[in-house]
Amino acid sequence: MNLPRRFRLVVLISMLSLLTAPAHAMLEGSFLYFPTHTANESRLTEWKINGALVGYARTVATPRHIWLITHGNGGQASQRQYIVDLLPADSSVYVLEYPGYGLRPGKPSMKSINAAAQEAYTELRARHPGLPLGVLGESLGSGPASFLCSLPAPPDRAVLMVPYDNLLSVAKKHISYLPVGLLMRDKWDNVKALSVYKGRVDIFGAVNDTIIPIVHARNLAKSVPHARYIELPCGHGDWSHQPEVRITD
């Protein structure tokens, strides 16, 4: 009786292992990444590193602070004017474009996005030595933002908008009928990334969020005892319109 059941289990595991690579692509293509590829119609200007487009920026002549924004999983960097406008007018703000988003070549993945974030962060540190540098991560972007906070020389401050504790736990709630732990490649873990971070952390969760339910922001806030945690009376895509969202020096 047990032999057929065990045999079926072995066959299932073998099939999953053979299908892992295409399954990763299908799962993350349908669940994680929704890029657009349109021309920049915002007031932001192109931001390049070594001649290659890496994002868009609002720069000021003598900034007091520098901000790096890692945006959500939909759209593209040039569509994040609404986040830039929330940051102090005397700050220079840079919005990272992910590989495979907008006009930037490549393919989005945790590896490629983290690498792009680290490259951008390193370049901004070199360009603005001595100035405070904060990172703002929106939704999916809370992953690469938290990743930067795990570096030996991390940002001075982190602001996380509608974030998750770890991406796998969000995926399991949305796709409970699949073994997402086996099929999912990109598993940002913000709790782990922020576990040794000593800088200022502001976490904003949305009470009516159906994309990343509020429990994930609450769990993340609990794991960072020194974080300032604010709950917003809105859904996932409405956080930027809330009066409680005030980002000051």
pTM above threshold 0.85: yes
Cβ atoms of residues 167 and 188 within 8 Å: yes
The predicted pLDDT at position 2 comes to: 42
The predicted pLDDT at position 249 comes to: 72
Question: Degrees (nearest 5) of the Cα angle 119, 66, 224?
Answer: 80
The predicted pLDDT at position 92 comes to: 99
The predicted pLDDT at position 1 comes to: 38
CATH annotation of 2-241: 3.40.50.1820
Annotated domain spans of the chain: 2-241
The CA dihedral of 61, 62, 64, 70, to the nearest 10 degrees, is: 30
Q: Give the integer Cα–Cα distance in Å for 107 and 37.
A: 13
The predicted pLDDT at position 248 comes to: 86
pLDDT digit of tens for each residue in the chain (249 aa)? 344 554 444 344 444 444 545 555 555 655 699 999 999 999 999 999 999 999 999 999 999 999 999 999 999 999 999 999 999 999 999 999 999 999 999 999 999 999 999 999 999 999 999 999 999 999 999 999 999 999 999 999 999 999 999 999 998 888 877 778 878 899 999 999 999 999 999 999 999 999 999 999 999 999 999 999 999 999 999 999 999 998 987
Structural tokens at position 41: 């119609």
* CA 165 to each of CA 81, 90, 102, 119, 130: distance values in angstroms, whole numbers, following the listed order: 26, 31, 27, 24, 31
**Number of C-beta neighbours around residue 109 at 10 A:** 19
